[in-house]
Amino acid sequence: MQKNNHINKLIEQLQWLTSDDYSLDSFLYVSEKQSFEENRYNLQICLEFIYRCFKCDLITWSFIADKNLAEIHQLDIPEKLVKKMGEYPLTFKLGSGVKFPELQSFIWDLCYVTSTEKLDEIVDKCALERGEYLNLSLDLSDNRWVLFKNEIYQIFLANNLPLNMKCPLFPIK
């Protein structure tokens, strides 16, 4: 998946939150078919995007399977959450016999987010339908989507959090 395509998928996924809750895993696209560097970039942009969405009040928690585990790791603090998300084992291979780390599985698969009222208002302003994700072919030239993407970027900028992948806030080690 090309870099711009992944960013567009993140923006699209963000819009989907106005109609349903999703696990954090739905924002990440890593695959054994991609190179390590592609997966690393996709994880990096996912971390940066999720952090900004939390900090700019675009998303909030809707369900956390184990509140005690979340509390122990302070996952309600966006900086701590994203640092833990960045420990995703990019070299993990399905069927290798190695167990996927429990905390990572918990964060990515058992923690769900939803839209905030602020995000709902942006979607309405852009005249996007809730549940529009059922139309699987996203027309990126559609003025509504262009406006939506620009609105999200403007919110990031207004909060002094531009999405700049040359200088990530949470570099993956």
Tens-place pLDDT, residues 10-54:
998 999 899 889 999 999 988 888 888 998 999 999 999 999 999
Is 166 contained in some domain? no
Q: Does 73 map to a domain?
A: yes
On whether residue 173 sits in a domain, the answer given is no
Structure tokens at 118: 């602020």
Q: Cα-flanking dihedrals φ and ψ of residue 104, to 5°? A: -65, -45
Give the domain range for residue 100: 3-158
Give the pLDDT confidence score for residue 115 in this predicted structure.
95
Element (H, E) at 171: none
Residue 103 neighbours by CB under 8 Å, 6+ apart: 69, 73, 84, 87
The 10 Å Cβ neighbour count of residue 47 is 24
User: How many domains are there within the chain?
Assistant: 1
Query: Is residue 22 in some structural domain?
Result: yes
Position 103 in a domain: yes
85, 54 Cβ separation under 8 angstroms: no
Instruction: Classify residue 27 as exposed, middle or buried by CB count within 10 Å of its CB (0-12, 13-18, 19+).
Output: buried
Residue 165 within any structural domain of the chain: no
Alpha-carbon distance 108 to 116, whole Å? 20
pTM here?
0.91
Is residue 146 in a domain? yes
Question: Could you tell me if residue 163 is inside a domain?
Answer: no
Dump pLDDT digits (tens) for 95-144. 566 677 888 888 999 999 999 999 999 999 999 877 655 555 567 788 99
Dist CA 156 CA 104 (whole Å): 26
Report H helices in 26-93. Answer: 36-55, 67-72, 78-85
Relative to beta strand 111-115, strand 59-64 is antiparallel
